[in-house]
Structure 1
Amino acid sequence: MQLQAIPRVHSITKKEFVRDYVKPQKPVVIEHLVDDWDAYEKWRLSYIKEVAGDKEVPLYDDRPVKHDEGFNQAHATMSMSDYIDLLKKGPTNYRIFLYNLMKEVPSLKNDFKFPKIGLRLLKQIPMLFFGGEGSKVFMHHDIDWANILHFHFEGRKQCVLFPPSETPNLYKVPYSLITREDINFDNPDYKKFPKLKKAKGFICHLNHGETLYMPEGYWHYMKYETPGFSMSLRALPRNFSNLRKALYNVFYMRHYDNFMRRRKGQDWIDEKNKKALL
């Protein structure tokens, strides 16, 4: 794969952000966007354990998709307190994915602000993501083709991105939001997946308090290099064509996929994975 470093800026104005990154749909890391948030000082794993330790949280690991699992169905549950203890003990595959902790702990909303940076951010769904050392988030793109601001807290996280134009080189699984799950994006098998050699993408390593902008429909693969967590804020796609794709995903694609899983079972999953190799 051909990966270039995602550009970094110390800070940025609304005009610069829209002109240089949103309109041309290019990713960027903003290093000091959240320095004035209370979260910048407070949001550590120990703080989350203090304010949300009693909450039962959904956990995901890296097992392949199964036909009898629903959309984003959790693989296990655990109290947040026990989960954070698990993260601090050492490497673990268990992650928290797309979790609206703010709904259960509203006080967390007081720790951050919605940046006035040129995106109409949706205020109902600030989502949190947690992972332990070595845990990975498979290569995927989001169902709503949103513009995403991804804020990282505690530790270090690797992010690999590909624009939608690279989809033909990524072995996308039909009627899904993922690539083949047996691709190791840290060390690709080019004999099995030769098209990956052509894929042109981006890479960065996020540290505490840094913000990654991911444009509409960008593929992303995340790896937690240390225990940590992130928050995403999102804005609907500005491009009408991308908005149509989002509506297709939400109102047709995922329902058709679920229908076919019920009808054909594991054969449907296997059939899709074979087609992804073509």
Structure 2
Amino acid sequence: MQLQEIDRVETITPGDFRKKYLKPQKPVVIERLIEDWPAYVKWDLDYMAHIAGEKEVPLYDDRPVDYKDGFNEPHAKMKMADYIELLKREPTKYRIFLWNILKEIPQLQKDFTYPDFGIKLMKGLPMLFFGGTDSYTFMHYDIDLANIFHFHFHGKKEVILFDQDQNDFLYKVPHSLITREDINFADPDYDKWPALKKVKGFKTHLEHGNVLYMPEGYWHYMRYITPGFSMSLRAIARNPKNLGKALYNIFIMRHFDNMMRRIKGQDWIDAKNEKAIRRTHRKLKMEGIGSS
């Protein structure tokens, strides 16, 4: 894959952020934006175990989508203290995602503020994400195609991003927000997935205190190099095309896909995965490149 390093800056003014990154929809890592937050000092795995240890948390792993699974249905549940002990003890595929701070542990909101990025942040949706060594998210984009600000705390994380212009070569699964789940984006098999040679994207690593800006609708793959967690804040898509896609995803696509799973079962999932290959390799042939 053709991946360039994401821009990195130590700090940035709201005006420069709007001009250089928000308006052109370009990702950036801001390295020292949150050093004045209490969370910068307090938030680590031990603190989360202390403040949220008795909370039962939903866990997800990297198993392929099954027709029986509901939308964002967890694969397991565990008390936060036990989960963090597991993270510290051994590698695990279990992750937490979209864990709402305001709903679950509202006092955590005292530890951070909403930065001025020159765009209105949705203050009701601060979400936490946790993962163990070598656990990862499938390549996906968010259903609302939001502008995302990803604040990383404990540990180290690898990130790969693509914009929506790369859809033709990503083996996107129809009626979904994911690519083929059997692609290893950290080390892709180009014999099996030749279209990935055409893909152009971005890469970076996140460490404690780094903030990653992901523009509207960006595909993202994240792998935890060490156990850790992050928080995301988001702002609604401003591009009318992306906002239209978001509304379609939320009110039509998601419900249509769930209906077809109920009607056709695993055959629906399998057919979508096969279609992802056919569509992508057809595009390759149109570009004059062999698909095998």
Give TM-score, length-normalised by structure 1: 0.99
Residue 138 of structure 2 aligns to a residue whose secondary structure is strand
Distance 1:186 1:150 in 2: 20
Q: Which runs of 5+ in 2 are unaligned?
A: 279-292
| 1:215-272 residue CA offsets vs partner (Å, 9 max, x unmatched) | 0000000000000000000000110110000000000000000000000000000000
In the alignment, structure 1 residue 245 sits paired with structure 2 residue 234: no
Distance 1:63 1:104 in 2: 26
Q: What is aligned with 1:34?
A: 34
Distance 1:223 1:108 in 2: 25
Q: What is aligned with 1:213?
A: 213
The answer on whether the counterparts of 2:132 and 2:227 sit within 8 Å (CA) in structure 1 is yes
Distance 1:94 1:102 in 2: 23
Q: What is aligned with 2:135?
A: 135
| 1:153-179 residue CA offsets vs partner (Å, 9 max, x unmatched) | 011000100011001110000000000
Q: What is aligned with 1:199?
A: 199
Distance 1:50 1:228 in 2: 15
Q: What is aligned with 1:277?
A: 277
Residue 19 of structure 2 aligns to a residue whose secondary structure is helix
Tell me how far 1:90 sits from its aligned partner: 1.7
Q: What is aligned with 2:61?
A: 61
Distance 2:256 2:155 in 1: 39
One-letter amino acid of the structure 2 residue matched with residue 263 of structure 1: I
Residue 83 of structure 1 aligns to a residue whose secondary structure is helix
Distance 2:109 2:101 in 1: 10
Distance 2:232 2:201 in 1: 21
Distance 2:71 2:172 in 1: 17
Which portions of structure 1, spanning 4 or more consecutive aligned residues, are displaced by more than 4 angstroms? Answer: none
Aligned pairs, number: 278
One-letter amino acid of the structure 1 residue matched with residue 202 of structure 2: F
Tell me how far 1:199 sits from its aligned partner: 0.4
In the alignment, structure 1 residue 181 sits paired with structure 2 residue 181: yes
- 197-206 or 96-105, larger mean C-alpha shift: 96-105
Distance 1:104 1:182 in 2: 33
Residue 29 of structure 2 aligns to a residue whose secondary structure is strand
Q: How does 1:44-83 map to 2 (within 5 A)?
A: 44-83=44-83
Distance 1:60 1:105 in 2: 20
| 1:26-59 residue CA offsets vs partner (Å, 9 max, x unmatched) | 0000001111110000000000011000000000
Residue 47 of structure 2 aligns to a residue whose secondary structure is helix
Q: What is aligned with 1:233?
A: 233
Tell me how far 1:186 sits from its aligned partner: 1.1
Residue 252 of structure 1 aligns to a residue whose secondary structure is helix
Distance 1:241 1:43 in 2: 37
| 1:177-233 residue CA offsets vs partner (Å, 9 max, x unmatched) | 000000010111111111000000100100001000000000000000000000000
One-letter amino acid of the structure 2 residue matched with residue 234 of structure 1: R
| 1:69-105 residue CA offsets vs partner (Å, 9 max, x unmatched) | 0111000000000000000002110000111133121
Q: Which runs of 5+ in 1 are unaligned?
A: none
Residue 18 of structure 2 aligns to a residue whose secondary structure is helix
The answer on whether the counterparts of 2:152 and 2:211 sit within 8 Å (CA) in structure 1 is yes
Q: How does 1:254-265 map to 2 (within 5 A)?
A: 254-265=254-265
